[in-house]
Amino acid sequence: MKLKDAWYATPGPENARQAAMLAAKGFCMGVADIIPGVSGGTIAFITNIYDQLMDAIRSFGAEALGRLIRLDASGFVARVHLRFLLPLLAGLLLALAGMARIMHTLLTDYPVQVWALFFGLIAASILVVGRRVGRLTWRTALAGILGAAGSYLLVGMIPVSTPETPLFLFFCGALAICAMILPGISGAYILLLLGKYEYMTGALKAPFSDGNPLIILVFACGALLGLMSFSRILHWFLTRHHAIAVSLLTGFMAGAMRKVWPWKEVLESRLVGAREIVIREQNVLPGTLDGGFWFAVALILVGFLLVLVLERLSGSEAS
């Protein structure tokens, strides 16, 4: 098989417009993954590319690896879903590289407004994903309750101080990437809990500084292993027990609403370098119903409507 024929044998965008749309979805996933408490998996779910993403990740299996080792380029390209992944990853990496500093500034200077927008996004996502559960049974209801309770407790945990050994960084990469592909569970927040969010974002901001290339490589290897293994478990669960799995994921998102409530009171923080990191906070009611409050409410509505528009556009594109 020729390389060009192998390329078009796999799923992916058929034209430049579809490729640009896929890259835009990847960009939105990347922005979401930067924010502790928001999941790129949620964006993939509401834009109707979640199943394709899982299939693309699973395409990198033993057969693909064997073809790569034998230098069978055409066979490798025909096996893996590069035509889908490359535009998606281009958008995602662009967001991670270009938006990390911007999002940090926005969260520092305009925290209520940023969290309000994401509160609306996740609220609508719960509605969109929840509709895919189908008929409500005691099993799906229990799965949703357990997912919400687990996520609620998880996002309330206090970040801990942890070692910086290669083995632990490998573990952090594997665990964070699993969270990133789960709707409702934020990989960035998992890193925050493991005490490595600031450490890894610092390494990514200066990737060629002393020691940082090794840090990024070890973390990436852990992420790769976690991605390859967990995607298969998740695919099996979604295939065999679809309604229960979707209900569980919906519960995850509902519980994560605790993290993205816009109005917070900082209870404990610490300085890491020149930056203040919040260790413990609690949700509070807005102090006054002033212009800032109504602007935050407007942003919640914008986020909510944006998800509904994205779902409508993705549905039209799929049809």
pLDDT tens track for 227-286: 888 888 888 888 888 899 889 888 888 887 888 889 988 777 766 555 566 667 788 988
pTM of the entire predicted model: 0.73
Give the lowest-confidence range in 185-189, 270-274, 287-291.
270-274
Beta-bridge partner residues of 280: 268
Confidence of residue 298 (pLDDT cuts 50, 70, 90): very high
Q: Cα(120)–Cα(245) distance, rounded to whole angstroms?
A: 23
Q: Three-state SS string across 122-161, please?
A: HHHHHHHHHHHHCCCCHHHHHHHHHHHHHHHHHHCCCCCC
Longest dimension (CA), the chain: 67
The reported pLDDT for the residue numbered 316 is 54
Give the lowest-confidence range in 140-144, 255-259, 300-304.
255-259
Mean local confidence (pLDDT), 94-117: 80
Mean local confidence (pLDDT), 169-175: 91
Give the lowest-confidence range in 27-31, 113-117, 238-242, 308-312.
308-312
Averaged pLDDT score across all residues of the chain: 82
- Top pLDDT among 225 and 275 is at 225
> Taking Cα atoms as reference points, which of 18, 185, 143 lies closest to residue 88?
18
Phi, psi of 37 (to 5 degrees): 115, -10
Handedness of CA 173, 48, 7, 91 (dihedral sign): negative
Residue with tokens 């964070």: 176
Q: Cα(229)–Cα(250) distance, rounded to whole angstroms?
A: 22
Q: Does 180 score more than 90 pLDDT?
A: no
Q: DSSP secondary structure string, the chain?
A: --HHHHHHTS---SSHHHHHHHHHHHHHHHHHHHSTT--HHHHHHHTT-HHHHHHHHHTSSHHHHHHHHTT-HHHHHHHS-HHHHHHHHHHHHHHHHHHHHHHHHHHHH-HHHHHHHHHHHHHHHHHHHHGGG-S--HHHHHHHHHHHHHHHHHHTSPP------HHHHHHHHHHHHHHHTSTT--HHHHHHHTT-HHHHHHHHHSTTSTTHHHHHHHHHHHHHHHHHHHHHHHHHHHHHSHHHHHHHHHHHHHHHHHHH-S-EEEEEEEEETTEEEEEEEEE---S--SHHHHHHHHHHHHHHHHHHHHHHHHHHHH-
Confidence of residue 129 (pLDDT cuts 50, 70, 90): confident
Q: Are 180 and 187 in contact (CB under 8 A)?
A: yes
Q: Does 146 score more than 90 pLDDT?
A: yes
The reported pLDDT for the residue numbered 30 is 85
**Range of 152's domain?**
3-318
Confidence of residue 37 (pLDDT cuts 50, 70, 90): low
Confidence of residue 302 (pLDDT cuts 50, 70, 90): very high
Q: Are 33 and 179 in contact (CB under 8 A)?
A: no
Residue with tokens 């005490």: 195
The reported pLDDT for the residue numbered 115 is 86
The reported pLDDT for the residue numbered 91 is 92
Number of structural domains (the chain) is 1
CA-to-CA separations, 46 to 85, 108, 151, 213, 308, in angstroms, rounded: 18, 28, 19, 34, 9
Q: Are 112 and 263 in contact (CB under 8 A)?
A: yes
Task: Extract the tokens encoding 166.
Answer: 């290669």
Query: Exposed/middle/buried for 135, CB within 10 Å: 0-12, 13-18, 19+?
Result: exposed
- What does the chain come to in residues? 319
Confidence of residue 140 (pLDDT cuts 50, 70, 90): very high
CA distance from start to end of the chain: 31
The reported pLDDT for the residue numbered 206 is 75
